[in-house]
Amino acid sequence: MAKKSVIQRNLKRIQICDRYRSRRQELKGIISNKSIPVHQRFIAQLKLSKMPRDSSAVRIRNRCLLSGRGRGVYMEFGLSRIALRKLCPFGYIPGMLKSSW
């Protein structure tokens, strides 16, 4: 199990990222648009750099919903491979069975 502070930090980053998502997309659109004058694109670049670091989606870690584990997480389930393996035999995940032959 990951430390609670690490899990909370990641949740805070998700909230900040959601709050700033539309504004970041606007600024990135201005920066990448070559028809806008260089001066305005530079100003947009400065505004983007002044935004909080945690507002970037790159800083969010995909973590397991049960254990908080940061590695080996299946995105479609939101669970780590270990949690998935524990839940499969009991039928908690629809359509998934532990194989036996």
SS3 39: helix
Yes or no: say if 63 and 7 are a contact pair by the CB < 8 Å rule: yes
Q: Which ranges of the chain does DSSP label H, i.e. alpha helix? A: 4-32, 38-50, 81-87
Dump pLDDT digits (tens) for 46-97: 999 999 999 999 998 999 988 889 999 999 888 999 999 898 888 888 888 7
pTM, rounded to two decimals: 0.78
Longest Cα–Cα distance in the chain: 67
Dump pLDDT digits (tens) for 13-52: 999 999 999 999 999 999 999 999 999 999 999 999 999 9
Domains along the chain? 1-61 (1.10.287.1480), 64-101 (no CATH)
pLDDT at 43: 96
As a whole number of Å, the end-to-end CA separation of the chain is 32
